[in-house]
Structure 1
Amino acid sequence: MKSIILLICLMTITERTSVFAQYDRNSDTTNLEKLYQQAKSAYLEFENIHGGYVQTNNVLMHYLTWGNPSDTPLIWAHGSFSHSYELAKLAKTLTDGGYYLIAVDYYGHGQTPIPAHEVSLYHSADDILVLMDSLKINKAVIGGFSRGGYIAAAFYQSYPQRVKGLILEDGGSVAFNSFNHSMSDEILQKKLSSIVPSAEADSLYNKSYDSEMEAYLSLYDKSIGGTQPELLNIIKKRGNHWITYQGLANFFSMENEKQFRDLVLKPNKSPLYGTSITMVQPKIIFRNLTVPMLILDPVSANDPIPFEKENVALTNQFPHLITRVEYPGVEHNVHYAQPDKFCQDLIRFLADVKRKGLH
């Protein structure tokens, strides 16, 4: 899945419908129930080993851990429409490389609900601080993909003394609206008008289900096979029904053209969570950078939000602290497109953090 920061969320929804082939409801009911029960059993077993919850001032936040707590903590914030299992398949490589990996579900994702009160990306940073305190972690490498990168930047702005290093995967190193505001009025208008999910995507992601099994089967990818227990982390109970991503697009202020237009042109008119990504200003946050930073920069002719120029400028400002790694041909999701190189670069960065005496 290629979630693109806030700008591309609904494009991602449309894209995923071509990836997730819904399971044939006409298949033998017994086999479908067996598949679901196997996935449920595997999910609960995994959660029993790796899962946890922490109560913050904002929410009961779900998280996962892998590895040895005595190793260097890496706290990871996933991208939009993803969840804490985002790096699950890479966890062994990263922990073998010296990280104690901690992955959070932030608001509306995985098993963490959307709070009843207004929250922002900065509130997510506060939640991570509570998690660190509960796990008795003084300092950590803070990283994230896409929207998660902006949460990592917000954390550094709020609690720089708790950060050993930063890993920003195509998010958090450049202001969100930079590319939008560089467009001509005509091109920007065309872009704003195009942010409309397909009917198929809207149905898949906003639908509610009568059972957890039905919701699970709606996400099941026949082309992958297996039990895919991680899908159960996406599903939440709401009242008497089960949902997957219902309400998230509205929470992002991305449900329709008007919401997106306000987010780009009049962000202060948007609800706090939607507008908060526009409040993360890396040029200000990193003006006095004191910790190592790894920027994972996908570069492609089809890159919907090209940040290359700005990332190079930031790297040149702090050449002794910032490492920028370019991923040619990758549009956005580095860890999905090139998982081996992603892990190698993160492990190499850990050595850099230790060499600079920040371990």
Structure 2
Amino acid sequence: MRFCFFALLLLLPAFVLNAQNKTPILERAKALYKEAKAEFTRFEKEHGAFIQTKNTRMHYLTWGNASGTPLIWSHGSLTNGYELFDVAPNLVKAGYYVIAIDYYGHGQTPIPPHEVSLYHIADDLKELMDKLKIEKAIVGGWSRGGYISTAFYDAYPNRVLGLVLEDGGSVNMNTYYHQMSPEKLDSTLRKIEKDWPADTSYASELEAYYANYDTSSGGNQFNLLAWITKNRKDRWAISPGVIDLFHMRFAKQWSNNILRFTRAPLFAESMSILEPKIVYRNLNVPVLILDPVSENDFMPFEEENSALQKQHPAFITHKIYPDTGHNIHYESPQQFIQDLTVFLKKVKAHHKIR
């Protein structure tokens, strides 16, 4: 459960003591934040780096040794490379060299001043591979990151050993919406707009840190700092500017993304026009499609994924996760690691890699 720590400060007397260490709550908040900042700095020094591409100064994380099989990962919307934080060490044990990027507006990578698309991110990935002297890699991602991975294969197929598509990138994004009647689509988009959380910003990084601190987990949760960035008003927020980059602030924008994508900005248009059935028509590398199924599945693409697998049975593995939400690597981390471990063996066998 997310907990607004500073709201509590307004309700409690200033000298309420923490039951365990007798430290005033505000002092405990500052101490945890200071600890988180120090650990974040240490972690970044060991795992973090930047590359200046043609488009942006892109941040990325690495885990493992460059002698492993490279897995270049693109995250989902409103997250960043730290989304693999809990599973990366076990992926390294399985034989991967894990590289997780932050793309535009997420983590420590700014939104470029010029128009960009999923294919611009693919270009950034190619530049990163060149910098790290990686000839070929397994390319993968979750949700929107899966579509970035598909765009990369479309642009640079000869740089791909295999693909991991976690609930994204294997079916056109708007397929589900196109199956709705105009009336149903309109009501769905209006509900999304109504329920969309308001932008929240904070006067300090410390406030933002504790507003999003998970009290049920404890610890300093230093990786939370990767989500917090200054916005244009010099306040602190989670991924500021990203919703506008996605063109998803209002129902009308969602509608244009889905039905009139040439009216949308380039980044949103590139998401809508990406058609995996075309991109993968001449598929010649292994692909792992991770497909969660749940009662409220907003990407119910089991049939489409099954059809794609039947077109390329020698290359595509379609793995269904029953009773699982959109974020597989968070909800079912052990199964995620196991499936990627098996997939690595398939990729090595296909390319005759020892």
Question: The TM-score by the shorter chain falls in which range?
Answer: over 0.9
Which amino acid letter does the alignment assign opposite residue 20 of structure 1?
R
Which amino acid letter does the alignment assign opposite residue 249 of structure 1?
I
What is the CA deviation profile of residues 172-229 of structure 1, one whole-angstrom value per residue up to 9, with x for unaligned ones?
0001111111112222122121112547x31xxx233222212212211112211110
Q: Give the alignment partner of residue 125 of structure 1, picking from 103, 122, 127.
A: 122
Which amino acid letter does the alignment assign opposite residue 333 of structure 2?
P
SS at match of 2:86: helix
Aligned to 1:338: 332
Whole-angstrom distance in 2 between the partners of 1:44 and 1:187: 48
Which amino acid letter does the alignment assign opposite residue 308 of structure 1?
E
Aligned to 1:312: 306
Corresponding position: 1:156 with 2:153? yes
SS at match of 1:294: strand
What is the CA deviation profile of residues 145-196 of structure 1, one whole-angstrom value per residue up to 9, with x for unaligned ones?
0000000000000000000000000100001111111112222122121112
Aligned to 1:92: 89
Whole-angstrom distance in 1 between the partners of 2:4 and 2:235: 19
Which amino acid letter does the alignment assign opposite residue 149 of structure 2?
A
TM-score normalised by the chain length of structure 1: 0.91
Whole-angstrom distance in 2 between the partners of 1:77 and 1:111: 14
Whole-angstrom distance in 1 between the partners of 2:169 and 2:204: 37
What is the CA deviation profile of residues 59-92 of structure 1, one whole-angstrom value per residue up to 9, with x for unaligned ones?
0000000011011000000110111101111111
Aligned to 1:73: 70
Which amino acid letter does the alignment assign opposite residue 79 of structure 1?
G
Aligned to 2:241: 247
Which amino acid letter does the alignment assign opposite residue 335 of structure 1?
H
CA-CA distance at 1:278 after TM superposition: 0.8
Aligned to 1:195: 192
Over the aligned positions, Cα root-mean-square deviation in angstroms equals 1.4
SS at match of 2:79: coil
What is the CA deviation profile of residues 307-341 of structure 1, one whole-angstrom value per residue up to 9, with x for unaligned ones?
00010000001111111111011131111111100
Asked if the contact 2:48–2:59 (Cα under 8 Å) also holds between the matched residues in 1, the reply is yes
What is the CA deviation profile of residues 85-138 of structure 1, one whole-angstrom value per residue up to 9, with x for unaligned ones?
011111111000000000000011100111111001110111111111111100
SS at match of 2:208: helix
Corresponding position: 1:225 with 2:222? no
Which amino acid letter does the alignment assign opposite residue 82 of structure 2?
Y
Which amino acid letter does the alignment assign opposite residue 235 of structure 1?
I
Aligned to 1:168: 165
Whole-angstrom distance in 2 between the partners of 1:197 and 1:230: 30
CA-CA distance at 1:264 after TM superposition: 1.0
Asked if the contact 1:164–1:358 (Cα under 8 Å) also holds between the matched residues in 2, the reply is no
Structure 2: gaps of 5 or more residues: 10-23
Is 160-169 or 23-32 further displaced after alignment? Answer: 23-32
Whole-angstrom distance in 2 between the partners of 1:126 and 1:39: 33
Corresponding position: 1:208 with 2:186? no
Whole-angstrom distance in 2 between the partners of 1:197 and 1:86: 28
Which structure is richer in relative contact order (CA contacts within 8 A, separation 6 or more)?
1
SS at match of 1:73: strand
Work out which of the two has the higher radius of gyration on C-alpha atoms and give 1 or 2: 2
Which amino acid letter does the alignment assign opposite residue 23 of structure 1?
F
Whole-angstrom distance in 2 between the partners of 1:41 and 1:210: 21
Asked if the contact 1:77–1:145 (Cα under 8 Å) also holds between the matched residues in 2, the reply is yes
Q: Describe the shift of the 1:157–1:241 C-alpha distance in structure 2 as closer, same or farther (beyond 3 A).
A: same
The number of residues matched between the two structures is: 337
What is the CA deviation profile of residues 29-78 of structure 1, one whole-angstrom value per residue up to 9, with x for unaligned ones?
22111110000011000000000000000000000000110110000001
Asked if the contact 1:71–1:99 (Cα under 8 Å) also holds between the matched residues in 2, the reply is yes
CA-CA distance at 1:243 after TM superposition: 2.5
CA-CA distance at 1:246 after TM superposition: 2.3
Aligned to 1:3: none
Whole-angstrom distance in 1 between the partners of 2:321 and 2:111: 34
Corresponding position: 1:182 with 2:179? yes
Whole-angstrom distance in 2 between the partners of 1:237 and 1:333: 27
Aligned to 2:131: 134
Asked if the contact 1:22–1:221 (Cα under 8 Å) also holds between the matched residues in 2, the reply is no
Asked if the contact 1:22–1:222 (Cα under 8 Å) also holds between the matched residues in 2, the reply is no
Whole-angstrom distance in 2 between the partners of 1:358 and 1:84: 30
CA-CA distance at 1:358 after TM superposition: 5.4
Aligned to 1:21: 3
Corresponding position: 1:235 with 2:228? yes
Is 257-266 or 185-194 further displaced after alignment? Answer: 185-194
